[in-house]
Structure 1
Amino acid sequence: MVGWVVLITGGLTGIGRAAAMAFAREGAIVVVTGRREDAGTELVKQLRTFGPDAEFIKADIRNEDDVRAMIDKTVARFGRLDVAVNNAGTEGTPGPVTAQTPETYAATFDTNVLGVLLCMKHELRAMQAQGFGNIVNISSTMGSRGAPNASLYVASKHAVEGLTKSGALEAAAFGVRVNAIAPGPVETAMLDRFTGSEDRKAGLLAGIPLRRAGKPEELAESILFLASDKASFITGQIVSVNGGRTAS
């Protein structure tokens, strides 16, 4: 991966940050995106201690002009785009279906679905012109099953898996792979917000056969594998990384 150009959306915290660090340690040029310029600038300083170069691009993935510029700036600066990790996401507003509104729907789907769609659209535009590339989307264990009080998040991650599979079928014609990982609970601020209390978090983790949450670094290793040449015959797949949560 030495010298590869890797773009990671939502790269300032959690799984995205861990993936950025992991790619940088492998010698990749890492471009991270997000909405907090101060945090992005600080992260770039750290990434440059590992990799050949790094860059922060301020972008809101819900805005197509931002996404188009994000891709164009990356290619203009580094000449190509080898890997894109579409990690930016939100847990939305937990609660029963009867409590959801057009506003809570938009707040969840604009980031988790529209954001991924726009990123894939412009990433594939660049990768098709190159004739190579690799996209890794971030789904969830809830992308293939239901969960009470999480209807919009669940629905949005089902949509991400559909986009992944459809995009893979289209992109295969020009030599680009598209996959997703589906994490179970991971030790991130999102998990803490989603569970809301230590008791609820403990209850959720009790249902994990390995009896713990995943670490962002463990998810990063799965992303690296799917992006690597070791996974060169894998496309259109959703890879579960969840401590056995979906084994039964």
Structure 2
Amino acid sequence: MFAWREEGWRVDLNADLGEGFGRWEVGDDLRLLGVVTSANVACGFHAGDPVIMRRTCEAAAARGVSVGAHVGYRDLAGFGRRFVDVEPAVLTAEVLYQLGGLDACARAAGTRIAYVKPHGALYNALGTHEAQADAVVDAVRAFDPSLPVLGLPGAVWLKRAEVAGLPVRYEAFADRAYTAMGTLVDRRRPGAVLHSAVEIAERCVAIAVDGHVRSIDGHLVRLRVHSICVHGDTPGAVGIARAVREALTGAGVGVAAMGTDNARVGA
């Protein structure tokens, strides 16, 4: 019997938001905030700026959506999707800087940072890069050792975070293909990003109900997660998010932010 079947157990639904910059807007944040339960807010390094950060925090707080710090490499031109061989001490300082900036915006909006989730190339690097993993863990510990961290099951940085005493949360991706090893398929490969709302919703129900996802080459990959992510910059993101939420609730899976009677799916 899977955990969500027990009374009061839930799964979180998160999306990357606040990823515009200046006059450029990315995604339909306001409509997505009406569907998701957690918002991964860009902290100004891969996207976002002070105005967007504060506006996104205010909009999330007004809708009761949790605010997560979406920290990344200093790479606005590449949208944070290029690996940066940054020194660990510098990465620690840069993550601290991002956390501090978003924390100020969140507090001004009457809310607080609820968790930390790396973005893009940093997210992928932290799966195996031990030095950068330790650097990010050091930053979160220095900022707030009680702050949960969110990432892919099996990632090195989450293992280091757990040893360091940080609360660890796991996520799955609604609209990304998986390898047989449980890692994400490189975005440059055909089929790496899914676009069919029906297919994506069915995958999310399988993750929540059965605790697994089928890899791009047909293998079943076991996933036990607290949260499911829908990318805010994916075309049709709002429709996809709605389809996922409706499919989950239709299958009897409650949807709520992490920390509100939420537990790991399939635990």
Shared fold (TM-score, shorter chain, > 0.5): no
Q: Which has the higher contact order (CA 8 A, sep 6+)?
A: 2
Q: TM-score with structure 2 length normalisation?
A: 0.40
Q: TM-score with structure 1 length normalisation?
A: 0.42
